[in-house]
Amino acid sequence: MLHLTLRQLKVFESVARHLSFSRAAEDLYLTQPAVSMQIKQLEDNVGLPLFEQMGKKIYLTDAGHELYHYSRGISQQLADMELALDELKGLERGKLNISVVSTANYFAPHLLAKFCQRYSGVTVSLNVSNRETVLRHLADNVTDLAIMGRPPDGLDIATQSFMDNPLVVVAPPDHPLCAGRRIPVKRLEQETFLVREPGSGTRSAMERFFSAHRINISRGMETDTNEAIKQAVQAGMGLAIMSLHTVELELETKRLKVLDVQDFPIMRHWHVVHRKNKRLSSAAQAFREFLLTEARQLMPAITYEKS
């Protein structure tokens, strides 16, 4: 009979999911030697190697794949048990796991704070990542709810929009176009645009918009953070198309300006997403309802003057 511990399985599952000892250590708030020790003990108990290393990458062995399949099932059963017990306690206690794309992090903490004021016994775990990682969290069933712009294709999910997400063209205050009014979209072909990484929802919306208007833009720096783009725009490296929620502070302090471009803003929406077969906890159900019914009213309006 195998003498496995739940802790060993939890560590193994994290390493197998990330295919990285260091990322598993970060995920579990452990040191990397502690993760390696747990995996070594687990391999000794199983009697087979669970990982193999090729160069700098690790891969699951056949035994590792088998154990990963069963460990995920065990973890899900434990999560269901914890969920059932939490539901018996109501919203006096409970856990809420949320994954949000990085752009949504500019407003998600504000809404979570309002929710937690109402339900003080709920413990919130907030993961802020790029779109690709958030989609992986949904696919791997490691998050209760996700907040993103464009809902994913190909996943069996339930999604509802809860708030507008306008995309605007931003420039440094001294840019020549700041004096313009009703700037033709075609004029943007003369500018360099700073863009998010491939797969970003904002970048995808930008590319669809320019394609529909038959606009060919010149791309400058590519980065995976909104903060880097804002700093680069302020430094005069180019223009950017960004969610209005991400530039609220910069507009207030006049470090950025919204250009008055025809056919802008590009109006998108924020969505709350979960797997259709996901059994939502009382806390997750309450937060989802909270977003759908109160988010628009609770978020302060972002006012700005077009250049």
Three-state secondary structure readout of the chain: CCCCCHHHHHHHHHHHHHCCHHHHHHHHCCCHHHHHHHHHHHHHHHCCCCEEEECCEEEECHHHHHHHHHHHHHHHHHHHHHHHHHHHHHHHCEEEEEEEEHHHHHCHHHHHHHHHHHCCCEEEEEEEECHHHHHHHHHCCCCCEEEECCCCCCCCEEEEEEEEEEEEEEECCCCHHHHCCCECHHHHHHCEEEEECCCCHHHHHHHHHHHHCCCCCEEEEEECCHHHHHHHHHCCCCEEEEEHHHHHHHHHCCCCEECCECCCCEEEEEEEEEECCCCCCHHHHHHHHHHHHHHHHHCCCCCCCCC
Q: Quick one: pLDDT at residue 140? A: 85
* 219: nearest Cα among 230, 207, 228: 207
Q: What is the pLDDT of residue 114?
A: 93
- The rounded distance, in Å, linking the Cα atoms of 220 and 20 is 32
Give the integer Cα–Cα distance in Å for 131 and 35: 27
pLDDT at 109: 93
Whole-number pLDDT of residue 75: 81
Give residue-wise pLDDT tens across range 253-293. 999 999 999 999 999 999 999 998 888 888 898 999 999 99
Query: What pLDDT score does 100 carry?
Result: 95
- What pLDDT was estimated at residue 307? 52
Cα 297 to Cα 195, 218, 249, distances in angstroms: 31, 38, 20
pLDDT score, position 183: 95
The whole-angstrom separation of Cα 280 and Cα 271 is 17
Q: Each residue of 85-143: pLDDT tens digit?
A: 666 566 556 789 999 999 999 999 999 999 999 888 888 999 999 888 999 888 888 89
pLDDT tens digits, 152-211: 877 789 999 999 999 999 999 999 999 889 999 999 999 999 999 988 889 999 999 999
Task: Say how far apart CA 108 and CA 101 lie, in whole Å.
Answer: 10
- Which has more pLDDT, 144 or 277? 144
Q: What is the pLDDT of residues 80-100, one digit of tens each?
A: 777 666 665 665 567 899 999
pLDDT tens digits for 206-227?
999 999 999 998 988 999 899 9
Distance of alpha carbon 65 from alpha carbon 160, whole angstroms = 35
Q: How many degrees, rounded to 5, is the angle at CA 100 between CA 163 and CA 71?
A: 135
pLDDT of residue 79: 74
Q: Evaluate the omega torsion of the peptide bond into residue 151 and state whether it is cis, within 30 degrees of 0.
A: no
Task: Give the predicted TM-score (pTM) of the model.
Answer: 0.69
Q: Looking at residues 12-28, what average pLDDT do you find?
A: 91
Q: Report the percent of the chain where pLDDT is more than 90.
A: 61
What integer pLDDT is reported at residue 155 of this predicted model?
76
pLDDT at residue 6 in the model: 87
Residues 254 and 186 sit within 8 Å (Cβ to Cβ):
no
Residue 285's region, left for phi above 0, alpha for psi from -120 to 50, else beta, is alpha
The Cα 291–Cα 141 span in angstroms is 21
